[in-house]
């Protein structure tokens, strides 16, 4: 079964990157049915660039911003089964990114998936080593720890409706959400 997919993009002054992400998105083998851009007060050309694509733009006042709040606002604007979450500075390396990221949701108990992140070819060696450790080239079908990263992830919206992101956290909202989702899965399968 093919799920309906929304892409929720968090951004703030990302004029240098958002066009590359959105260009890659509209070339996907599964173009999202909805694209929601959540802006937290950009003062550059981010919104003008995003507006050239089929997107809905919603805002979070900069004084009210948290990563969790931005995700909750974007997810509340979507109406699909699955939501792909992306930071505006990431971009797909292949045209099946969304299809591959959302494929595991064919299994009903999957709540979250996340994709690999890599440094650019001119990136720092230390950053490359860290990303290789946390985002290995080989997929792990069922990990036992709650690590994930909302810069390149997908979630089942029905799980999110029961368990929104914690808006009080200043970071690590993705790990907090994944830990709760994993805990709920373990409780339901014990």
Reply yes or no on whether the pLDDT at 35 is more than 60.
yes
Indicate if the alpha-carbon torsion angle 169, 172, 174, 177 is positive or negative. negative
More confident call, 167 vs 123: 167
Q: What is the DSSP code (8-state) at residue 103?
A: G
Burial 156-181 (b: 16+ CB within 10 A, else e): bbebbeebebbbebeeebbbbbbebb
Residue with tokens 């996907």: 28
Domain parsing of the chain, residue ranges = 5-184
Asked if 6 and 72 touch (Cβ cutoff 8 Å), the reply is: no
| DSSP assignments along 105-123, one per residue | GGSTT--EEE------TTS
Reply yes or no on whether the pLDDT at 164 is more than 80.
yes
* Average pLDDT of span 141-170: 81
* Average pLDDT of span 37-52: 98
* Average pLDDT of span 92-110: 92
Pairing mode, if any, of strands 82-87 and 152-156? Answer: antiparallel
* pTM, entire model: 0.84
Spatial strand order in the sheet of 34-39: 56-59, 34-39, 5-11, 82-87, 152-156, 112-114
* Average pLDDT of span 120-146: 59
Q: Over the chain, what is the mean pLDDT?
A: 85
Reply yes or no on whether the pLDDT at 171 is more than 60.
yes
Asked if 158 and 79 touch (Cβ cutoff 8 Å), the reply is: no
For domain 5-184, the CATH architecture is Alpha-Beta Complex (3.90)
Condensed to tens digits (0 to 9), the pLDDT of residues 6-16 reads 999 999 999 99
pLDDT classification of 186: cutoffs 50, 70, 90: very low
Give phi and psi for 90, each to the nearest 5.
-95, 165
pLDDT classification of 138: cutoffs 50, 70, 90: low
Angle, CA 106 vertex, CA 151 and CA 162 arms, to 5°: 60
- What pLDDT score was predicted for residue 189? 45
Asked if 13 and 37 touch (Cβ cutoff 8 Å), the reply is: no
């Amino acid at each position: 079964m093919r799920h309906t997919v929304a892409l929720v993009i968090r951004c703030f002054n990302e004029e240098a990157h958002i066009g590359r992400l959105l260009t890659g998105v509209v070339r996907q083998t599964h173009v999202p049915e909805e694209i929601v851009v959540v802006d937290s007060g950009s003062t550059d050309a981010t919104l003008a660039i995003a507006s050239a694509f089929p997107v809905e733009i919603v805002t979070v006042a900069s004084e009210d911003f948290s990563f969790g709040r931005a995700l909750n606002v974007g997810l509340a604007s979507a109406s699909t089964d699955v939501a792909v979450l992306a930071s505006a500075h990431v971009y797909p390396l292949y045209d099946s990114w969304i299809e591959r990221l959302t494929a595991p949701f064919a299994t009903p108990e999957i709540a979250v998936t996340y994709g690999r992140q890599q440094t650019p070819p001119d990136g720092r060696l230390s950053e490359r080593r860290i990303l290789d450790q946390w985002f290995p080239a080989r997929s792990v079908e069922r990990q036992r720890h709650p690590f994930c990263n909302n810069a390149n992830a997908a979630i089942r919206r029905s799980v999110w409706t029961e368990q929104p992101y914690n808006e009080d956290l200043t970071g690590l909202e993705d790990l907090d959400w994944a830990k709760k989702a994993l805990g709920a899965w373990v409780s339901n399968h014990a």
